Amino acid sequence: MEQFAPVKKKDGQPVRYLVVDDSVFARKNLARMIESFGGQLAGEAGDGCTAITEYDRTTPDIVLMDITMPQMEGIEAAERIVRTHPNARIVMVSSVGYQDNIVAALQRGARHFVQKPVKPEVLYEVIKYVMGEDAAVTTAAGAGS
């Protein structure tokens, strides 16, 4: 997989991610992308309920959240997380990318939407956008750019 210039937090620490998807395969694929962005996997969850408890436990910088999942769907989980943690950065990652779904997710607190199959270069740009001024692209030596 292509390597990207690492995106680090202001303090030089890697961005920490919580990956939520009912597919182990999809989680592994996203974890590989995160690694190629210089990020760190803080936790994983396979449904919305577990995502909420994992968020409280790991307090990640970004959540990558699937929508169609058993028990509790991603949009509801995102809403519940944002209700408790208003600054949570949640990016919905779903194959179902129609406008109603995107609008519903954004209205309930998600910051962005990426459609599957996920292209690493698209996710990378979204991560930079969502992290905003709290992160910077660094050179391999770690200097900010």
Partner 1 sequence: MRMELIQPFINAADAVLADSLECPTSIGSLSMEEEAYRRKGVAALIAVTGDIEGRIIFDVDPHTAMRVASRFAGEELPKSEELMRETVCELANQVIGNAVTSLNDQGFRFRVHPPEVHTSEKGDKSSEDTEALVISIETSKGKVFMNVAMRYNQAHEQQAAVTRG
Rounded Cα distance between 83 and 65, Å, is: 16
> Is the CB of 9 or the CB of 116 nearer to partner 1?
116
Work out how close the CB of 32 gets to partner 1 at its nearest, in angstroms, rounded to a whole number: 6
Least distance between partner 1 and beta carbon 26 (Å): 5
Beta carbon nearer to partner 1, 12 or 122: 122
Are the CB atoms for 65 and 91 separated by under 8 Å?
yes
> Which amino acid type is present at position 140?
A
Cβ 139 to partner 1 shortest distance, Å: 24
Q: In this complex, which beta carbon is closest to partner 1, that of residue 46 or of residue 61? A: 46
Helix (H, G, I), strand (E, B) or coil at 94: strand
Binding site for partner 1 (CB under 8 A): 1, 22-26, 28-29, 32, 68-70, 94-100, 115-117
Residue with tokens 């692209």: 137
Q: Dihedrals φ, ψ of 40, to 5°? A: -130, 135
